[in-house]
Amino acid sequence: MSAALMTPAVRGRSLWDDARRRLSRNRAAVAGMAVLALLVLAAGVGPWLSPYAYDQVNKTDVWLGPLRHGHLLGTDALGRDLMVRLLMGLRVSLAIGLVATAVSLVIGVAWGAIAGFVGGRTDEAMMRIVDVLYSLPFIFFVILLMVAFGSNFILIFVAIGAVEWLTMSRIVRGQTLTLKQAAFVEAARAAGLSQGAIIVRHIVPNLLGPVVVYVTLTIPAVILAESFLSFLGLGVQPPMASLGTLIATGAADMELAPWLLIFPSGVMIVTLMSFNFIGDGLRDAIDPRDR
């Protein structure tokens, strides 16, 4: 038997393997993932472990500073423990960011893939609708929805997600215009697959790279939008908390209790920076030409 036949086949690395290897070498992205994992764990488990409820009022512990009377981060004007409220607010903000981003992801990918693949008048009509929606002020449109239908969790998800999909649809459309000229799409057409089957089986799976990167950048944008709405009093309503409501409360009581602003703002900054580091790392890993 010849030596060539005895040599075992060597499996080449896939593009995703290379992307994973490059991502693991990006210290900022790895640090961002580690910090974000800790934040998610703290937000998910922390409120259950705290001896205080997030809405528990204690009139004898009003405006206590950090590390006083068992309150690690102090209390607010109603004597509520800031630590548990901060963890609950982080949980709410992350949930809104994830769900609203998922809404924008579904709408944006479907809209952009259909427009780019079908082309012609369908593409023109669909993208003109996107242009019209782009001309509306983002915050004004969301506030209009909130005022018209009331303020609740579900509406916040829908209102923010229904606006954030616009940029996603443009990104997906541009990628689809390139992909539909690829050889594997022509082969699928020759095999008799319908347009819907080609979009679902061949176009959308090949859009995962840029879509994943944009998702990591959309989540912090959604969290900021929700925080701004809560700051204006149109987002999460008391006694429930979000990072936005905590920052708004802290800003109002900044002179008397600066810790009420410092700690929520710090958590907000760390959370947004973690998502941005992860997004930059994914972008560099998936397309090293951007480095």
CATH number for the domain that contains residue 144: 1.10.3720.10
Q: How is residue 6 written in tokens?
A: 């005895």
* pLDDT at site 225: 83
Give the number of C-alpha atoms closer than 13 A to the C-alpha of residue 158, restricted to the C-beta side. Answer: 10
On whether residue 203 sits in a domain, the answer given is yes
Q: What's the N-to-C CA distance of the chain in angstroms?
A: 48
211-215 mean pLDDT:
86
153 vs 183, more confident: 183
Look at 2-6, 148-152, 167-171 and tell me which has the smallest mean pLDDT. Answer: 2-6
Sign of the C-alpha dihedral computed for residues 225, 226, 228 and 232 taken in this order: positive
If one counts the domains in the chain, the total is: 1
* pLDDT above 60: residue 135: yes
* pLDDT above 70: residue 237: yes
* pLDDT at site 150: 64
* pLDDT at site 7: 47
* pLDDT above 80: residue 1: no
* pLDDT at site 80: 94
* pLDDT above 50: residue 145: yes
On whether residue 48 sits in a domain, the answer given is no
* pLDDT above 50: residue 173: yes
* pLDDT above 70: residue 126: yes
* pLDDT above 60: residue 8: no
* pLDDT at site 233: 74
86-103 mean pLDDT:
90
On whether residue 2 sits in a domain, the answer given is no
On whether residue 156 sits in a domain, the answer given is yes
On whether residue 59 sits in a domain, the answer given is no
**Predicted confidence band at 70 (pLDDT cuts at 50, 70, 90)?**
confident
Most confident of 7-21, 97-111, 141-155: 97-111
**Percent of the residues in the chain that have a pLDDT greater than 90, as a whole number:** 36
115-129 mean pLDDT:
92
On whether residue 219 sits in a domain, the answer given is yes
Domain that holds residue 261: 28-43+81-290
Residues 6+ apart with CB under 8 A from 222: 96, 97, 100, 101, 104, 160, 161, 164
User: Which residue has 């560099």 as its token pair?
Assistant: 284
* pLDDT above 90: residue 181: no
Q: What is the C-alpha separation between 12 and 10, in angstroms, rounded?
A: 6
Look at 121-125, 176-180, 203-207, 229-233 and tell me which has the smallest mean pLDDT. Answer: 229-233
**Predicted confidence band at 228 (pLDDT cuts at 50, 70, 90)?**
confident
27-50 mean pLDDT:
94
* pLDDT at site 153: 66
Q: How is residue 123 written in tokens?
A: 């593409």
Which helix (H) or strand (E) element contains residue 122? helix 120-135
On whether residue 137 sits in a domain, the answer given is yes
* pLDDT above 50: residue 262: yes
Q: How is residue 182 written in tokens?
A: 């690829």
On whether residue 65 sits in a domain, the answer given is no
Per-position DSSP letters for 169-217, written without gaps between them: HHHHHHHHHHHTTSHHHHHHHHTT--HHHHIIIIIGGGGHHHHHHHHHH
Nearest to 278 by CA among 32, 20, 102, 27: 32
**Predicted confidence band at 9 (pLDDT cuts at 50, 70, 90)?**
very low
User: What pTM does this model have?
Assistant: 0.84
247 vs 149, more confident: 247
* pLDDT above 70: residue 152: no
Quote the mean pLDDT of the chain.
Answer: 85
Which residues in 254-275 are b (16+ Cβ under 10 Å) and which e? Answer: eeebebbbebbeebbeebbbbb
